């Protein structure tokens, strides 16, 4: 009787574990910075060497795209982002951040593409770690108050998808003054 009870208890625990843990993708890395203030950064532009600070970009929605020249999907998505920057440039700022790459390689990658939106160099990927980047490409959507509202993991190939995320960004209103 005691054995049966013990086996039933162990089975119950196992079932509970399976019920709570199944259905989740173990490879999906949680994103803890959603609806949190975007960490400040000061980076330099790949083309002009000019300094760009996040605090100076506040007041407009911001799209930050992390990419690298060695990343195939980044090459595939770049034309979509370039078109989006041209089309929605009046409503939001677009910036690319070079991830784990050398400025030379990044320039070689960016050169054939038409100059669409500024690219920033992130030495030693410090800023990428600050933003919780898990790989490239990843695109962050930050509202006018500096709150990270969303991030898209993988290549953004659908213009409609990008447009709807931008629209949601414009609708979002974050707590003013919450960003650092």
Partner 1 sequence: MSVLVLALLLSATPHAPQQAGSALLDPTREARVQALGKMLRCPMCQGLSIADSGSSAARAQMDRVRELVAEGKTDDEIRAYFVARYGEWALLEPPAHGVNWLVFLLPVALVLVGALVIGRLVRHSSVAQAAGAQPAPSPASADPYLDAVRAELKK
Q: What is the largest CA-CA distance in the chain?
A: 78
In whole angstroms, how close is the CB of 164 to partner 1 at the nearest point? 25
In whole angstroms, how close is the CB of 64 to partner 1 at the nearest point? 15
Question: Residue 62 or 128: which CB sits closer to partner 1?
Answer: 128
Question: Residue 89 or 175: which CB sits closer to partner 1?
Answer: 175
In whole angstroms, how close is the CB of 160 to partner 1 at the nearest point? 29
Question: Residue 129 or 163: which CB sits closer to partner 1?
Answer: 129
Sequence-separated (6 or more) residues with CB below 8 Å from residue 73: 136, 137, 154, 155
Asked if residue 120 lies in contact with residue 139, where contact means CB atoms within 8 angstroms, the answer is: no
Question: Residue 14 or 163: which CB sits closer to partner 1?
Answer: 14
Walk across the sheet containing 36-37 and list its strands. 36-37, 147-153, 138-142, 62-67, 93-98, 119-121, 42-45, 51-53
- The footprint of partner 1 (CB under 8 A) covers 2-3, 6-7, 9-10, 13-14, 16-17, 20-21, 29-33, 36, 68-72, 100-102, 105, 124-126, 128-135
In whole angstroms, how close is the CB of 167 to partner 1 at the nearest point? 26
Separation CA 151–CA 119 (nearest Å): 18
């Amino acid at each position: 009787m005691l054995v049966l009870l013990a086996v039933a208890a162990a089975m119950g625990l196992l079932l509970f574990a399976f019920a709570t843990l199944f259905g989740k993708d173990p490879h999906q890395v949680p994103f803890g910075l959603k609806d949190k203030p975007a960490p400040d950064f000061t980076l330099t532009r790949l083309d002009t060497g000019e300094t760009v600070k996040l605090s100076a970009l506040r007041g407009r929605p911001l799209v930050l795209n992390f990419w690298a020249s060695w990343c195939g999907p980044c090459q595939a998505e770049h034309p979509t982002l370039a078109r989006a920057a041209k089309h929605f440039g009046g409503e939001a700022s677009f910036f690319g951040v070079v991830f784990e790459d050398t400025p030379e390689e990044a320039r070689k990658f960016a050169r054939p593409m038409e100059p669409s939106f500024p690219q920033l160099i992130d030495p030693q990927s410090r800023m990428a770690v600050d933003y919780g980047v898990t790989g490239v490409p990843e695109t962050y959507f930050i509202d006018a108050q500096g709150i990270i509202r969303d991030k898209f993991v993988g290549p953004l190939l659908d213009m409609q998808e990008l447009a709807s995320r931008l629209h949601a960004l414009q609708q979002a209103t974050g707590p003013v003054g919450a960003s650092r």
